[in-house]
Amino acid sequence: MSATFRSRPTETRWGNSELLLALATGFIVLGVYLFSIAPDLTWANAAPDGVELVTASATLGIPHPPGYPTYVILGKIFSWLPLGTVAFRYNLFSAVATAGAAGILVLAIRAHHSRIRPAAAMAASLLFAFAPLVWSQAVVAEIYGLNLLVLTVFLLIWLRRGATFWSGFWLGLAVTTHLTSIFFLPALLFAGGRNLLRPIAGMIAGLFPLLLLPLLAAGNSPIMWGEPTSLHAWWWLVSGRLYAANLRPALDFDHLAGIFRALALGPAAIAGASHGTAEPSRLEAFVRPGEQRARRLLVLTACIYVAFALLYHTPDAAVNLLPALMILSLLIAPVLDRLGKAALLLPLVLVTLTFSARDLSGDREVRPNALRLLNEAPEDALLLTPGNRTIFTIFYFQHIENVRSDIRIADANLFAFDWYRDRLREQHPELYVPEGDDLAALQRVNSESRPFCLADLVPSPGVSADDRRTTRLGSVVSPQLECINR
């Protein structure tokens, strides 16, 4: 089995026209994103982890499993840009990374389809970039833009040179940006045949950022998931074992509807696949000899992503389909080629129809709500928060914008973890932190020496699941802050 899909081994460089096409695509995408990007902190587009990622990266901490060290380091570099708020810089990081992925995808399309016209390659990439699911993650602080960027680099190298050290390296690096990147591993291994040593060595090298987690754990960031200073604790973090319970077969029609809505390019991809099956002689005009196997491996990889999204039951499970959309965009390029330059009208229509729904340029609600809560909090208070959005938003203002550093924060959900209580005890020795998961004791003892309040930035009708652990404490109700009677 050959280790490469290329039919012209001497072709190792791109022409100037291809590079210009990729750059033009990237800049077009970035330009549209900049008109719709969130200007500050946001929880929009099913991205409640954004504030956590921003704060963890800016303070060189460790966000939720698997820790995302590559995002943390590169995001920290991006945070030094003298543009807007720190939160905006991370939104911009997502936009630049996703636009870069769109540009590189053009090169990957041209590498896979030997005679595809530039207009079709650009149209396919633009359709990917402006697909609602992709666009939604490109204008907020999230890890998916970086993951797509690294995956497109892997895809380009893999399509041009097959299973090599460098294709393995970029796949390993992609895994450090999102664990589902491992779904490309069968494609890498099957392409390598018996020559697996180099791609596996490259993949191991690409995983190197995961070794930085113990170094990050030695810092003083307020966000430190786990204690990756031992092999067992490190593996707990990088394996994402915490979320294994979300992976289960279950029939949920709302979940299925969300997945199928996200697969906006599905029908076009199916048309492209059936076109290739029914008319193989015409498909050969686009796919180089020997690359049919690459096409089948890509379809297999996309199917794995779809299956995972169907089985992974979380409210934002659809975002796991982003790499599948990237693959589908590559596969439909021959269909778009039939339209010639008219294919470029399709992404234009898509942007026109969906821009208002994707536009977050006026989303500024999180900041004033958070500042109002912080301004209302009593001096030296201990705030108990009901979940990730509230605690990480408060941490952002405390540790990045230096607002109300006198306040101490504990989170009701994180309090269940031993490592969290240990960290809280270490960072705030003035607080009483019980050995076990005992919120009542936390309140009872600390309220004797300081104000104790429940703080919730998430508006909700009634009591949510996150609130259940705090409502049993009893409180005096106010709009965002509930201070306990002493």
pLDDT of residue 4: 52
Q: Is the pLDDT of residue 145 over 70?
A: yes
pLDDT of residue 460: 59
Q: How far is the C-alpha of 238 from the C-alpha of 242, rounded, in Å?
A: 10
Pick the residue with more confidence: 477 or 210?
210
State which H helix or E strand residue 452 sits in.
Answer: strand 452-455
Pick the residue with more confidence: 385 or 284?
385
3 domain-assigned: no
Tell me, yes or no, whether 171 and 299 share the same domain. yes
Among candidate residues 163, 157, 165, 162, the one with its CA nearest the CA of residue 201: 165
- CA 191 from centroid of its chain's CA atoms: 27
Tell me, yes or no, whether 339 and 380 share the same domain. no
- DSSP-derived letter for residue 385 is E
Tell me, yes or no, whether 426 and 350 share the same domain. no
Question: What pTM did the predictor assign?
Answer: 0.89
Sheet-wide strand order for 408-411? 408-411, 382-385, 452-455, 481-483
Tell me, yes or no, whether 58 and 90 share the same domain. yes
448 domain-assigned: yes
Percentage of the residues of the chain whose pLDDT score is greater than 70: 84
Which two three-digit tokens encode residue 19?
Answer: 């590079």
Rounded mean pLDDT, 448-458: 91
Q: How far is the C-alpha of 116 from the C-alpha of 289, rounded, in Å?
A: 14
Q: Decide the pairing of beta strands 481-483 and 408-411.
A: unpaired
Tell me, yes or no, whether 148 and 47 share the same domain. yes
Q: Is the pLDDT of residue 476 over 70?
A: no
Tell me, yes or no, whether 319 and 213 share the same domain. yes
Q: Is the pLDDT of residue 446 over 90?
A: yes
Q: How far is the C-alpha of 304 from the C-alpha of 289, rounded, in Å?
A: 25
- Alpha-carbon dihedral angle through residues 390, 392, 396, 402, given to the nearest 10 degrees: 70
Cis peptide before 66 (omega within 30 of 0): yes
If you compute the radius of gyration of the chain from its CA atoms, what whole number of angstroms results? 24
298 domain-assigned: yes
Q: Is the pLDDT of residue 459 over 90?
A: no
6 domain-assigned: no
pLDDT tens-place string over residues 79-105: 999 999 999 999 999 999 999 999 999
Tell me, yes or no, whether 380 and 298 share the same domain. no
pLDDT of residue 191: 77
pLDDT tens-place string over residues 396-438: 999 999 999 999 999 999 999 999 999 999 999 999 999 999 9
Q: How far is the C-alpha of 340 from the C-alpha of 344, rounded, in Å?
A: 8
Give the residue numbers spanning the domain of 471.
366-483
Tell me, yes or no, whether 291 and 389 share the same domain. no
Residue 314 pLDDT level (bands cut at 50, 70, 90): confident
Tell me, yes or no, whether 29 and 83 share the same domain. yes
CB 199 within 8 A of CB 178: no
5 domain-assigned: no
Q: Is the pLDDT of residue 24 over 90?
A: yes
Q: Is the pLDDT of residue 283 over 60?
A: no
Residue 475 pLDDT level (bands cut at 50, 70, 90): very low
Q: How far is the C-alpha of 339 from the C-alpha of 336, rounded, in Å?
A: 6
Q: Structurally, how many domains does the chain consist of? A: 2
Pick the residue with more confidence: 34 or 162?
34
Tell me, yes or no, whether 350 and 388 share the same domain. no
Please provide the DSSP assignment of 294-308 as one string.
Answer: HHHHHHHHHHHHHHH
Q: Catalogue the E-assigned strands of 168-266.
A: none
Q: Which of 304, 339, 358 is the last residue in one of the domains?
A: 358
Q: How far is the C-alpha of 69 from the C-alpha of 212, rounded, in Å?
A: 7
Percentage of the residues of the chain whose pLDDT score is greater than 90: 65
Tell me, yes or no, whether 348 and 410 share the same domain. no
Which two three-digit tokens encode residue 35?
Answer: 């008109």
pLDDT tens-place string over residues 229-267: 899 999 999 998 888 888 877 667 676 777 776 665 544
- DSSP-derived letter for residue 288 is P
> Mean pLDDT score of the chain, rounded to an integer?
86
Q: How far is the C-alpha of 181 from the C-alpha of 175, rounded, in Å?
A: 5
48 domain-assigned: yes
pLDDT of residue 311: 87
pLDDT tens-place string over residues 60-76: 999 999 999 999 999 99
Q: Is the pLDDT of residue 315 over 50?
A: yes
pLDDT tens-place string over residues 336-383: 988 889 999 999 999 999 999 999 999 999 999 999 999 999 999 999
Tell me, yes or no, whether 212 and 346 share the same domain. yes
- Residue 281: partners with Cβ closer than 8 Å, 6 or more residues away: none
Q: Decide the pairing of beta strands 452-455 and 481-483.
A: antiparallel
Which two three-digit tokens encode residue 485?
Answer: 């009677």
